[in-house]
Amino acid sequence: MAAFDRIPSGIPEMDKVLDNIRLGDNVVWRVSDLDVFKAFVNPYVRQAVADGRHVVYVRFAAHDSLIDDLTGVEVVQVELSHRFETFTVDIHNIIEQRGKDVFYVFDCLSELQTAWSTDLMMGNFFQVTCPFLFEMDTVAYFPLMRGKHSLKAVAKIRDTAQIFLDAYDDGTNIYVRPEKVWRRFSETMFLPQLYQPKDGTFRPILDGVQASQFYRALNRERWPGREQNSDAWDRFFDRTMEQFENGQDVSEEKSRMCRIMITRDERLRPLVRKYFKLEDYFDVRLRMVGTGLIGGKACGMLLARKIVERNCPEIAARLEPHDSFYVGSDVFYSYIVENHFWDLRVRQRRPEEYFSLAGPLAEKLRTGKFTKEMEDQFCKLLEYFGQDPIIVRSSSILEDGFGNAFAGKYESVFCANTGPMETRLAEFEDAVRQVYASTMSLSALTYRKDRGLDQRDEQMALLVQRVSGSYYGNVYMPCAAGVGYSYSPYRFLKDLDPEAGMLRLVMGLGTSAVDRTEGSYPRLVSLDKPEVVSAVSSAEKHRYSQRGVEYISSKTRKVEQALSNRIEPLLPAYMKKLLFEHDWDAERQFRERGSNREILFVSCAGLVKNKALMQDMREMMAEIQRVYQYPVDIEFTINLAEDGTYVINLLQCRPLQVFKDDGETDMPETFSPDKVVLECDGASMGLSLTQKIDAVAYVDPVAYYEMPYVDKTRVAKVIGQINWHFKKSGRHLILMVPGRVGTSSPELGVPTMFSDIDGFDAVFEIADSRAGYSPELSYGSHIFQDLVEAKILYTAVFENEKTKIFDPEKFKDLPNRIAEVIQDTTHIEGVVSLFDTAQAGLTVYHDMSAQRLVLAFDA
């Protein structure tokens, strides 16, 4: 049939008044009792079945069936859960599978509020479902309960529906007043109508007596339960606050607040309920923009702080008060719906378009608009922070949970937050859009896919925090920042205690503590012996020190990086003593040449010598781990005053997945040296294993160094192609590269993303002084966490005593299969090889407890 064809409703006189229901119409009946809806839906279904129509009844609610006789009706049951996207996609798939010209009845829309706790999402559901039904030339009936929803939510439904009808029952008569009938009009169409179900009459009310009876019914129904100015979400919180103030028991409401606003993680929820007071939930709500969950990152930060406040009050007194705000997870979906690209979102979830549509969807996320109402809420948030710098951080509902850290997968964006409100608002909105778009990054998509999360709802909530720090001229930054581990099995010196925990500490903003930066190294601190370092001489300490310091520039209004010697003159003397150390060896050499020069480098030595500070960090992480019953990692900043007073800002906390070595290795006691490709001690991280290797992807250090700079990124792409070619093939591969993987600087190594290497069994970073490459055991970095979660063995092949044997020349006589995987090898000839080792019997042995690795051919 053709779109907009007339359809009999089963009530002929109503068809005359409304000029018929048409194909494509979504018909919403607002009622106070579902029995009133049944008076209209039953004739519609009987007529459709008699006409040979395909009638589908979509059931998701707990109420009784809305259709009295289901003969000839297909009933489809859909699980109604808290997962808005999953539910909406399920409905979309039902409609798509059944095709065109289908007649639908849906359970009561108001039931969606019980699952999603907000009218907003009910409106969003209708706003994305109704147009698809229209496209498919269907007819659909929906009931909606009067007086239960906000005016905004009802307006969304009314504006989207083709027909919106109010129906009233006074016990004797049923009255109908059409509010919207799309593309149809008559002089009597929008008058109140009197419907008599017994004889099927449906006629406009024209005389005063009947009109008075209608308004009597209208007043009795409408005003006691009139539509609300506020959303169901706000009404729930307001009602709970009032009950609490009146001394009533609100235990059940407190549990619901945890479930709908803080976390759905079954392991975190009991901890939240234990450590959050009722006032804490209200405080979160007051600092929240929109509705929904605050997300994993925000939940972890708040829970860790509550644990410290309750169990370590002395340390809590030295915590910087948090002043975070939260953009609820529902805002993410509303943004997509209001910018009209939900259909693209639905398509992108399909396996065949999961990766291919990520780019177009990311572009939509980067360029959408926010409603005026949302902008007003953003402005209130910005007014609170004044003109202090802020950071907009991802806090998705799957992030920072047990087993799914999503470390570094989503963006965090700094905002200078200075200037007129228009400038600040535009900058903030751009930051929000950038974080939203990062949900479609290749690394995030691959991470979700590999963990079976690609069909789970991934709503992006946001955590907005003031950047902790001080101004030094036009430089704004904290004294120091970093990441902390409550437990670390990776010892950069053999006699360190993994139970004590460790820090990865940097001067300035903490981005360089979690990323691999050019020629720059953080200070690794084992909290049982904070001052101990692996370097012996001051020259070696200087070589492996932090070179680049990141800060927010008040001039450029951006995050900048400068060499530490550019920042040092801006700092007060006490800060220099805390953060810098003398390179005595270099200064002595200059003196011997007749020149007195002060050579300083960043070591954070004054901080690690502060016993009270280091003890606070150790005890704080140990207590959080005790409560979690699981290792944790945190992000933090540290600021100090001249008198030695310090404050710690606890920015993030999440469960830390670590290698728990319960495996064994069948490593022989001795190896024939002519069969050994690599043997090293104390330079690996990963589980004990014995694994036959089918192929080795090898990047020649010197050949890579001699490549034109613009071609070096081709090598990263080739490695990615090898990875994807063999991924999930059951074959076992090793990757050997010069310098660092995961770097953004080709001069430091091969600039791969983790998704380019996540299929390899082991990754070896090779040092080569001829080309200036040096690996880094990046404890605490994002790539470190990726390797741990993927259970990939990592080894740094140093040019020092840790490497006993390294002889890649033993690969040269093996078949090179690179041309079988890569079509065009023109630019990588002699640079990248794929050696077939299956027949040669190459095996990797790793003993985690002894920290020994051997890669050898069969004897």
Residue 177 has a pLDDT of: 95
Q: Which of 856, 833, 402, 486 is nearest to 672 (CA)?
A: 856
Q: Is 484 exposed, middle or buried, given 0-12, 13-18 or 19+ CB atoms closer than 10 A? A: buried
| For residues 772-778, average pLDDT | 69
Tens of pLDDT, residues 334-350: 999 999 999 999 999 99
Q: What count of other Cβ atoms lies within 10 Å of the Cβ of residue 241?
A: 17
Residue 511 has a pLDDT of: 83
| Block residue for tokens 């609300």 | 228
Burial 186-207 (b: 16+ CB within 10 A, else e): eeeeebbbbbebeeeebbbbee
* Residue 17: partners with Cβ closer than 8 Å, 6 or more residues away: 186, 188, 189, 193, 202, 203, 204
Tokens representing 593 are 């040449």
Residue 656 has a pLDDT of: 84
> Which residue would you say has higher pLDDT here, 331 or 227?
331
The H or E element spanning position 13 is helix 12-18
Q: What is the 3-state secondary structure (H, E, C) of 591-606?
A: HHCCCCCCCEEECCHH
- pLDDT score of 776 more than 70: no
Residue 454 has a pLDDT of: 81
State how beta strands 842-847 and 689-692 pair: antiparallel
Distance CA 186, CA 191 (A): 10
Distance CA 742, CA 753 (A): 5
- Of the chain, the percentage scoring pLDDT greater than 90 comes to 68
Tokens representing 204 are 């406009």
Residue 63 has a pLDDT of: 96
Residue 219 has a pLDDT of: 82
Tens of pLDDT, residues 520-551: 788 889 999 999 887 778 888 888 889 899 99
- Band (516; pLDDT cuts 50, 70, 90): low
> Which residue would you say has higher pLDDT here, 668 or 376?
376
Q: How many whole angstroms from its chain centre is CA 293?
A: 12
Are the CB atoms for 734 and 726 separated by under 8 Å? no
Residue 778 has a pLDDT of: 59
Tens of pLDDT, residues 124-168: 999 999 999 999 999 999 999 998 999 999 999 999 999 999 999
Residue 309 has a pLDDT of: 97
DSSP 801-839: TTEEEE-GGGGTTS-B-HHHH-S--GGGTTTEEEEE-TT
Distance CA 754, CA 584 (A): 39
Residue 702 has a pLDDT of: 92
Predicted TM-score (pTM) of the model is: 0.86
Tokens representing 823 are 């079509």
Are the CB atoms for 7 and 20 separated by under 8 Å? yes
- pLDDT score of 103 more than 50: yes
Q: What count of other Cβ atoms lies within 10 Å of the Cβ of residue 583?
A: 24
- pLDDT score of 239 more than 50: yes
Tens of pLDDT, residues 559-614: 999 999 999 999 999 999 999 999 998 889 888 888 888 999 999 999 999 999 99
Residue 225 has a pLDDT of: 47
Q: Which of 594, 373, 579, 620 is nearest to 485 (CA)?
A: 620
> Positive or negative CA dihedral for 69, 73, 77, 83?
negative
Tens of pLDDT, residues 697-725: 999 999 999 998 888 888 999 999 999 89
Name the CA radius of gyration of the chain, rounded: 32
Identity of the residue numbered 264: R
Beta bridge partners of 215: none
Residue 278 has a pLDDT of: 95
> Which residue would you say has higher pLDDT here, 186 or 270?
270
The pair phi, psi for residue 602, each rounded to 5°, is: -75, 125
Residue 782 has a pLDDT of: 62
The pair phi, psi for residue 396, each rounded to 5°, is: -70, 165
- pLDDT score of 689 more than 90: no
- pLDDT score of 429 more than 80: yes
Tens of pLDDT, residues 452-484: 888 888 899 999 999 999 999 999 999 999 999
Are the CB atoms for 163 and 26 separated by under 8 Å? yes
Average pLDDT, the chain: 91
Are the CB atoms for 428 and 466 separated by under 8 Å? no
Residue 746 has a pLDDT of: 81
